[in-house]
Structure 1
């Protein structure tokens, strides 16, 4: 974002910018759990929806996604940290766009809402010019569930801070025929599932970039 602003300022000031000078690539930072980081079922590396979204939009990617984590939990691995302790890495990266995903690993809506408000507020304070998209927990119920306490908690936190929110629960992302994109563990998306997620997330990121 800083490079893009600098280039714009130079052009506005009448600086002689070579016609073939490449515009700086926008940067994307994704903070999430194993739904963003991939699993044994699929979505690792270039097959994950964060990589697909970044590549399709011509952006660079920084990914901080760790299994079992959420706004309130550091997961089962030793040294795991919740989102509240990882937002500083996103701030340090100075991205143009931040996507915070999750998390189905959180429990207790009151605690989750408070932790989400804290995390998102610090992101906004540390990255006042960045675009921030919040995606709720991504569950894999074969049939629509309509609502979920954790989804409602994260939604309320995003609304409090006037941040755009995507509810996978309300949109029924992996229900019905789309449940075929969930792996044999019944939880994580396959490679095809990550491509499916990218199709749903990419337009929202693009909208933020061109807002």
Structure 2
């Protein structure tokens, strides 16, 4: 009887996998050591990209190299500027792309032009993906009104109509939150990455309309 029922289902084109779970949305993070982790913390599952992906039920592809940025490839082996990593990002076919950084960029004019080019190519290659830009993450103890590189990346995101999170304007690691910066005075600890995940997760949740599983 079971064999006969199976034949009927196959003949009528019934979907035997109708109850299968839908594939999880794909998150790609392009960034520097603030996204990739450092000796101070945030490596692997402890990094904010992994934490955000877990808490929102996403699959993660992380492309983060220390010392890199829109205009620099840094000194780490395999490090390349962001524009040279765009095609690889497009090939991953993510549902949402987060571009973070970078405090390694030094020329505001060059950074702005290169960021515009990078974001324009990402949007053209991934027309259905959501894109979020996070500005350079500095570790000043006291709040500052602005920073030339943050202003440059913000202007590039505005040019393309892309959502932007300014760590500078939000004072992410100032005041009491400075305790989340490691002994090198630059990079977040594991607790700092958990803190970053709490700042970034709500925006990605809104972009993808996915439920936050963290709490």
Q: Does 1:104 align with 2:103?
A: yes
Deviations 1:56-90 (A, max 9, x none): 00000000000000000000235421001111111
Name the larger-Rg structure.
2
Match of 1:151 in 2: 150
**Structure 2: where are the runs of 5+ without partners?**
1-13, 211-215
For the residue of structure 1 that corresponds to 2:80, the secondary structure is coil
Deviations 1:174-207 (A, max 9, x none): 0000000000000000000000000010000000
Distance 1:23 1:175, change over 3 A: same
**Cα contact 2:53–2:59 (8 A) shared by 1:** yes
Alignment of 1:170-181 (within 5 A): 170-181=169-180
CA distance in 1, matches of 2:16, 2:77: 50
Deviations 1:74-124 (A, max 9, x none): 002354210011111110000000000000000110000000001000000
CA distance in 1, matches of 2:124, 2:197: 28
After the TM superposition, which of the residue ranges 138-147 and 72-81 deviates more from structure 2?
Answer: 72-81
Q: Does 1:45 align with 2:44?
A: yes
Distance 1:113 1:22, change over 3 A: same
User: Segments of 4+ in structure 1 off by > 3 A?
Assistant: 15-19
CA distance in 1, matches of 2:79, 2:37: 16
Alignment of 1:134-149 (within 5 A): 134-149=133-148
Deviations 1:33-73 (A, max 9, x none): 00000000000000000000000000000000000000000
Deviations 1:136-171 (A, max 9, x none): 000000000110000000000000000000000000
For the residue of structure 2 that corresponds to 1:62, the secondary structure is strand
Alignment of 1:39-118 (within 5 A): 39-118=38-117
- Taking only aligned residues, the RMSD between alpha carbons, in angstroms, comes to 1.5
Alignment of 1:18-33 (within 5 A): 18=17, 20-33=19-32
For the residue of structure 2 that corresponds to 1:86, the secondary structure is helix
**Cα contact 2:65–2:76 (8 A) shared by 1:** no
What TM-score do you get using the length of structure 1 for normalisation?
Answer: 0.91
CA distance in 1, matches of 2:143, 2:35: 21
CA distance in 2, matches of 1:55, 1:159: 29
